[in-house]
Every structure is written in C-alpha cells, then in structure tokens.
Chains A and B, each alone.
Chain A
C-alpha cells in the first residue's frame, strides 16, 4: 500500500517543515452554527498564537479564503471567530489554512461552549466605574466641607453639599454594591457569614446614618467613606476575577478537546462525518493516518502503527491490528483502519480523565485561601467590636442614640477590609505578570500560595524531564552518504524515529516507490537500489531491548544501526540541586521501562525513581506522600498525568503537553528548560511573603485605628485618609515583586 505524500507545510520561519500536512486536518463541519439569516459561524480554539504578528497572519490568511466575512482572533483567550455566508465554503479549508500557517486549531462545540461575552467581568467593571465616579465627585464636595469646618462654611451651604453628596452616593452605592450585597445575602441564607457581610453592613449603615445626619443638619456625613470603600474593594475583586480568567479559559479548552468529529462508515459503504458525541457502541469508524481515535474501540480491519503517547506517555509507536483495542485519543500513524466503537465519548478515556480532572479541581477549590482564612477570623471580631462600642457608648458613656450609633459605624468603617481586599489580589497580579514575562502561565491566584508550600516534587519522565522527541545519537559513527540515503526513506514516514533521522539530515529528496509496511518499516528505491529502514527483525538483525534503535539497509550492503535517545531538558541538574539545597524531596515517576528511567534519574541527580507506572500508580504515590503530610507538587505532560496533576497540591506542565494536562495543571511553562519550575517556586515563595506582609500591615493598621474609632476620634476625614493610605501602601508593597529577579538576596 502506498503512503500518500502531501505537500510540506511552510512553518513560521518560512522554512519547509517536515510535517505532512492538510489532508489530516480535522473537519470542523459538525460544529458550524447557522443563524437565521444564513450566516454561518465557527468558533475555534487556536494554539500557539502569542504575538501581534500571529493576529495579522491568521486574520489576513483567513480573510483571503473566498467567502469569509469575519475572522477575529482574541489573543487573550485564543478563541477565533470565523463568519461567512457563502454556502460553497468548506469549513475544512479554514482549519487547513490555519495548519498551513503553523497553528493548531480545534473546534468548540457550540452547544457546549460558554457564551463569548464575559458578562461577569463586564458587570464588575461597570460597578467599579460607577463607584469610582461617585467617590471622586463626592470627595470634591467632602474636602470643601472639611476645609470649612473651622467656621468658614455656613450650615446652609454644608447642608446643601451634604444633600448633593447624598443624591450621588445613594444610587451609586446601591448600584455598585450589588456584588457584595448578593454574596452577603447568599451566605446569610446558608447560615454563615463571609467577608461581604461586614462590608455590606458598613456600607448600608454608613449611608443610613449619613442620611439621618443630613436630615438633621448634622456636621459629619460618611458618604465618601461608603463609596470609597466600595471602589477599592471592587478594584481588588476585579483583579481577582481577571486572574481566575485563565483557569476559566483552560476549562473551556478542555471542552474543545472533546469536540472532535469522526468518519462513520455506513452499512452501504459510504462515509458520514459526524460529531464524536453522536457515536454509539457498534458504530464502525474509519481512522485515517493522522486521525485520533474519538472513542474507545476494537480494530476490525487493517493494521497500523499507533502513537499511544497521549495515554502512556511513551512516544515509540505500537503496532496494532484486527482484534486489538484502541483508546480514545491515540493517534493513527501509518495506514487506514476501521474500528468498532465500544463506548460513547462519555465513557471514553478523555471523558474519564476530564472527570478526574474536575474532581481534582473541586478538591483544589476547597483549598482555603489565605484571604478567606483571614476573613473567617475577621468577621466575628469586627461585629463584636462594633456592637460593644455601641453598647459601651450608650450605656456606660451615657451618650445618646445618635452618638453611639455614629461611633459604632465609625468602628465598622475603619475596620473595613479595604487593605485586606487588595492584599492578596495585588500581589497575585504582580506575581503572575512577572512569571508571564518569564514564559510561565499561572492559572489562578491561589496556585501561587499552594506552590509556595511545596515539600516534594514528582516529575514525569518523557516530555517533562525530556523533550519527548527522539534524537539520533550515533550520527557521527555512520558514513555521511549512508545517513543521507537513509534520510531519503525517512522523509516519507510519520514515524518519530524516521522524523528524527530526517531532521538530523535536513531537507532533501525523497526515495521513489515508497511502501510503508506497518509494524516493520519503510522500503523504497534509492537511485535504482532497493532500500529498507525499519525494525531490527525485518532487516534480519537481532534487536536490542535496551536502546531505541532502527536499522537501514541499502541493497546488499551491511545494515547500519541508528540509535536514538530522548533529549533531556536544559538546566535539570541545576534545578534539582537548588531543590535539594532547601530540603525539598524530588522523585521521578514514569510509565516507561526501568532502564531508561534509571538513566534519566541518574543524569538529573534525582535519587528516587519508579518505572512502569500507570496513571493509578502515580496517584497512589501522590496519596502516599500526601498522607505523610507532605505537600506534593506534580510536574507532568502526558494525558496519563492529567489526573495526578489535578490531584496534587499544585502542578506544573510544559507547554508541549497534551491539552488536557495543560488544562489540569496550575502552571504552564514554555521553553526547553526545566529552570522555569524553580523560578515559579521562587516567585511563589516571594509572593506568599508579600501577601503575609500585607495582611500583617492590614492587621496592624486596624489595631491602631480601632482604639481611635472606639474613642470617637474618627471623623470622615480620618476614615477617608486611612482607607486610601492603607490601600496605597498595600499596592506599593505588592509592586516590590515586579523588580528584576535577584538571586537569593531579596528576602
């Protein structure tokens, strides 16, 4: 059977990539959504678009396809929206064009994907804007009132200004306070209190008290304090929401993973393209080379080399034929297969892993963030204090209702967690920004807190400690002309070992009369001489189980042996050494055989290693370490690592990892170096220190301010100064994290 040779794709640098292209791009037709007026929309998740040049390349490239009207890429989320009206446009050409441009794209199933607009973020922005507008304008009036306290301002003017402040403050506070009121109401309905309860209480009481004062021509009104409080807290809340946006985007990408299409063979022999969700057990599916199996199943026709790397983590392909099982997600390499589905997508490996990931995420969301711990302590203390102040003044101080209430409200306002609301988000935003500049993507704010608590690191081997790509190691032992001839055969195959040979030699001609024999190798004619490249047994040699190898025979010449090894990442020894210095345990868990695992562990400097681990084994090891009260961090890349990544205390995954693993991990680092793992740990520790400093400062500030408030010395002026001052200090402290990386000097 002849393998088909497609045109090579131009890669991003304009060079010729050795990827065999286009005809293997998935067909997104089942996910096109048509609106009433004939407009078709397709939502795609694009991988690899990180810069401005990518935007214009993608959008211009797609708009060049005749019929496409809208092509808009959202660089922050990676979501591409394409719209057209032309009936004759084949959606597959869109994905083909993207692949030709060098980007991976997967479709979003419109029934499952969330809406495009970010309503919650917009809601917070609007509230923040209104609070900011109100705070600024009321401050305008308040400063004049405070300046006129010494008698220059008459009571009539003061009353008028109070009334104007009231007219601004009341609608603004009711509008901008909605996030807090809703959250406080929900918490109270469930019988417990959260941080939003004292905030809502303070705002409402301050407003009420101020209206009362205004009606009675009083001196002090707290309108500015109420809206300023809302403004600062909304800033913190919005920043926190933005941070969690990355986690939300990953969850979305996980959904798009499952939105695959499949070629279903009908009983009359024709092929039907359907969404993978519609496959039922018993359906016969046609799997072309380059396709991924959409569901678990059994091969009924044909035999082919299959890449199980997504499942087992090992990139050496396995030959499977009729009667063998395939898992959802495995990649078909060499020839066409027909397999019978044995499960639906809901029961497939990817769905199982997604559920495991979600369970892990749920566990992580139960992690009580530092800020929430502070809040739990805070709420009862503050309420008790305010109540005590009121009762104290009323009964002991023998002051009237008015003075007692004013003082109690002053206590509530001054203890209000302005600084607390900013303490954590400010630090987290700065830390994630800094990590982003170093090529590390952080998924959520509390991931930083969790990584800072690390006691032990577990590394996966292939793809994590190594780059997951094979490299020819004995290239200089082979005569150059033999290597070039072998490359002529190698260029025609998708097999990773062949690709390694082809990459070593570079671009060149391809042999004639190519025939790829699944499970054995590839043969063809080079300048009239028959040649073979493949497994040892096929060439007639004894095979060596220890090393990854392939043999090449040109005509009657003695066969040549090529040895490969998995390339290790840079800076591994250095990184492990740094962890050893601070007493952090390290371990390697791999699905591969013992010999290569031992080799890589020794080369890395890691003493503990285990081989032939299944996904369940890895989770078992994780649990064992967690039971010994060690916070374990998982670093992995394969689909089989995804459950461990979700279950670990915190997790990291390289940018080359499977989509599901990237979605499950807390941090994603790009590049070939493992030093990013230590950088992430280092910055997380510093961030945690800043957050503790901020909390300590907020607590200290409250401790100083409370006695003043209880004594009745806190006027609106002092409250406003204190609130803005503490927020600024907390933010400035957070910005200390943005400075250049200092090696061990900055505490």
Chain B
C-alpha cells in the first residue's frame, strides 16, 4: 500500500513528461509537413562528397 504512494506519482510524472514532449513537437511544427519529413530522411545532403558513407567502401582487389 505504501508503495502506491510513490509509484503512482512516478507513473504520472513519466506520463506528464511524455505529454510535454508531444506538445513541444506540435509547437515546433513537426506535424505541419508530414509528407516532406518522410522524404527528407532519404536525402544525402549532409554527407561530405568524398567520404566513405557517401560513396561506399573503397574498392580493393582483395580476392583471398
């Protein structure tokens, strides 16, 4: 019974944090352009031109 005295407030607090985080995402405009957000993750704009992540691993003649 005494466990409830601290468990319930903890549960409510965690739920409250989730709610605040959601309200923050709404205010930050993250739901204004759902189609665009879905497509933007596919673009490679943030990779540097010569890096491995952009061009794939360097090809070596390694046929052992």
Residues of A within 8 A of B (CB): 51-53, 55-56, 60, 73-77, 117-118, 121-122, 125-126, 129-130, 133, 136-137, 140-141, 157, 160, 164, 168
Binary A-proximity of B1-31 (CB < 8 A = 1, otherwise 0): 1001000100110011011001100110101
Which of B12, B35, B45 sits near A75, CB closer than 8 Å? B35
- In the complex, the answer to whether B35 meets A126 with C-beta atoms within 8 Å is no
Separation in Å of the B40 CB from the closest CB of chain A? 6
Q: With a CB–CB cut-off of 8 A, which chain B residues contact A133?
A: 15-16, 18-19
* 23 A/B residue pairs, CB under 8 Å, sorted by A: A51-B39, A52-B43, A55-B36, A55-B43, A56-B43, A75-B35, A75-B36, A76-B36, A77-B33, A117-B29, A117-B32, A118-B32, A121-B31, A122-B31, A125-B26, A125-B31, A126-B26, A129-B22, A133-B15, A133-B18, A133-B19, A136-B15, A137-B15
Q: Which residue of B lies closest to A75 (CB)?
A: B36
A residues within 8 A CB of B11? 137, 140
Chain B residue contacts of A136, Cβ below 8 A: 15
Q: Does B58 contact A (CB under 8 A)?
A: no
Report A-chain residues with C-beta under 8 Å of the C-beta of B26.
122, 125-126, 129
| Shortest beta-carbon distance from B20 to chain A in Å | 10
From known contacts A117-B29, A117-B32, A140-B11, infer whether A126 and B39 are also in contact, taking CB-CB under 8 Å: no
What CA separation (Å) do A126 and B31 show in the bound complex?
12
Residue pair B45, A56 in contact (C-beta under 8 Å):
yes
Chain A residue numbers with a CB within 8 Å of B36 are: 55, 73-76
How many Å lie between the Cα of A136 and that of B16 in the bound state? 11
Residues of the A chain whose Cβ atoms lie less than 8 Å from the Cβ of B61:
none
Measured CB to CB, the closest approach of chain A to B64, in angstroms, equals 40
How far is B9's CA from A617's CA once the two chains are assembled, in angstroms?
71
Among candidates B1, B12, B35, residue contacting A157 with C-beta atoms closer than 8 Å: B1
A228 to chain B, nearest CB (A): 15
Please give, as numbers and ranges, the residues of chain A lying within 8 Å of B8 by CB-CB distance.
Answer: 141, 164
* Nearest chain A CB to B45 CB, angstrom units: 6
A171 to chain B, nearest CB (A): 12
Q: Which 4 A-B pairs have the closest CB atoms?
A: A52-B39, A75-B36, A74-B33, A133-B19
Max chain A CB contacts within 10 Å: which of B11, B22, B34, B45?
A: B22
Among B27, B33, B34, the one with the most A-chain Cβ atoms within 10 Å of its Cβ is B33
Inter-chain CA distance A86–B43, complex, in Å, is 28
* Most chain B C-beta atoms within 10 Å of own C-beta, residue among A129, A136, A160, A168: A129
User: What separation, in Å, do the CA atoms of A140 and B12 have in the docked complex?
Assistant: 10
Which residues of A sit under 8 angstroms from B40, Cβ to Cβ? 52, 55
> Which A residues are in CB contact (< 8 Å) with B32?
74, 76, 117-118
CA–CA, A122 and B12, complex, Å: 24
Q: Which residues of the other chain, B, contact A117 by a CB distance below 8 angstroms?
A: 29, 32
C-alpha gap A73/B43 in the complex (Å): 14
Q: Which residues of the other chain, A, contact B45 by a CB distance below 8 angstroms?
A: 56, 60
Name B39's closest neighbour in chain A (CB-CB): A52
Q: What residues of chain B lie closer than 8 Å to A55, measured between beta carbons? A: 36, 39-40, 43
Determine the chain B residues whose CB is within 8 A of the CB of A75 once the complex forms: 33, 35-36, 39
Please give, as numbers and ranges, the residues of chain A lying within 8 Å of B35 by CB-CB distance.
75-76
CA distance A343 to B42 in the complex (A): 49
Q: How far is the CA of A136 from the CA of B36 in the complex (A)?
A: 31
Q: Which residue of chain A has the shortest Cβ distance to B9 in the bound complex?
A: A164
**A123: nearest chain-B partner, CB-CB:** B26
User: When chains A and B are docked, how far (Å) is the Cα of A136 from the Cα of B14?
Assistant: 12
A123 to chain B: closest CB distance in Å?
9
Q: How far is the CA of A381 from the CA of B1 in the complex (A)?
A: 46
Query: What is the distance, in angstroms, from B12's C-beta to the closest C-beta of chain A?
Result: 6
